[in-house]
Copies of this chain bind each other. A is one copy, B any other.
């Protein structure tokens, strides 16, 4: 199925997946958009639309077979085909992501890491190889790596991103608190903790923020 879906809907799909996977693994469990929406505190029409975009299995009255819906969502998200990734910058956050084994469930496989500090190169405690950044371009090209995870300081983020793009990376997951730019066709997903902290800090400093009538962001 190649229906279009909004970015917002796309980002809700993991929530559905997670809820469905928590249900007892029983072939005969059916779940309706109504039940799912109230369980997750989302609008029923929104959930109904999201599910219809990723699965044809909805039946009037009963809803979706949970097991089938899980398959459909994972298939839609491309979790079935694992994507190889490299991580650049093995500081505290980098090491944490490197040794986090939960990514595989989302189709992400970090095959290696890079650092500019020769002293950090070698085998990480997670068992993954950390190479010197000078080896990155060659290795990414050779292994046809598609995802680059950036956990370097803000100042070097764009430089690292440029090398990744030059190496054929098609998606960049940026954890550096920096505004970086990528050419069209390459997806950039920012995980900007500084922006999040600004939201928290602002809320506590009790100045009013427009939050589309919602206190959840």
Contact = CB atoms under 8 A, between A and B. Distances in A.
Interface of A: 2, 4-7, 10-15, 18-19, 22, 40-42, 76-79, 81, 83, 92-93, 95-96, 99-100, 103, 106-108, 146-147, 154-155, 170-171, 173, 177-179, 181-182, 184-205, 207-212, 215-217
B10 A198 contact: yes
Contacts of A170: 203-204
15 contacts: A6-B210, A7-B209, A11-B195, A11-B196, A11-B198, A14-B177, A14-B197, A41-B181, A78-B201, A83-B204, A107-B201, A187-B203, A188-B217, A189-B200, A190-B216
A216 B181 contact: yes
From DSSP, what is the main secondary structure of chain A's interface residues? mixed
A135 B194 CA distance: 29
